[in-house]
Amino acid sequence: MTVPGVRPERVAGGMAILAGGGMILAARTLAPLPHLPMGPGVAPTVIGVGLLVTGVLLLVRRGATAARDGAVRSASCPGSLPTSRRWGLFTLTLGLPLFVALTLETFGMAIGLGLVLAPLLAMQTRRPVWAVGLAVAVSALLVGLVHGGLGRPLPNGPLPRVSALLGPTGR
């Protein structure tokens, strides 16, 4: 996950300075209250200053070695996926839960979980039929445990009858 020639602490320092500056600016938009000695902008200002200071410290720090700090690398190893496929898997891992979150009321939790699990399992195991079967089984088990067993309400989607069998509190 590191880019050759780019020191991660420099990138983190730069981001921290930007975030700190943004936080201080955002704090200035919060109106102080007349009857309180300190307003809601104090904490964001303090944190913003802290981000600025740590960002500067990371930028000016010299001699920090990757070996001492334990670098996290994504070196390829035998059996791992090729780079393009890895980024594809990363995009799916990130995108599918977001898609399901935004369409949860439409699809319901059982189908939504299946929509997340089946493509990810299929891509990694390269056995699509087996992956779909496992995704369906795991989705049913998890929804049964949380909805039926623990009684937590979950969106049913188009499966109200199945959910009604599992528990009385579904939506």
Residues 102-161 that bind another protein (CB under 8 A): 102, 104-105, 109, 112-113, 116-117, 120-121, 124-125, 134, 138-139, 142-143, 146, 150-154
Instruction: Select the residue interacting with another protein from 18, 98, 164, 165 (CB under 8 A).
Output: 98
Of the pair 105, 165, the CB lying nearest another protein is at: 105
CB of 24 to another protein, least distance (A): 12
Q: Give every CB contact of residue 67 below 8 A, 6+ residues apart in sequence.
A: none
Total site size for another protein, rule CB under 8 A? 82
Question: CA–CA separation, 8 vs 6, rounded Å?
Answer: 6
62 binds another protein (CB under 8 A): no
> Distance between CA atoms of 171 and 152, rounded to whole angstroms?
10
Nearer to another protein among residue 61 and residue 160 (C-beta): 61
Per DSSP, the residues of 114-156 read: HHHHHHHHHHHHS-HHHHHHHHHHHHHHHHIIIIIIS------
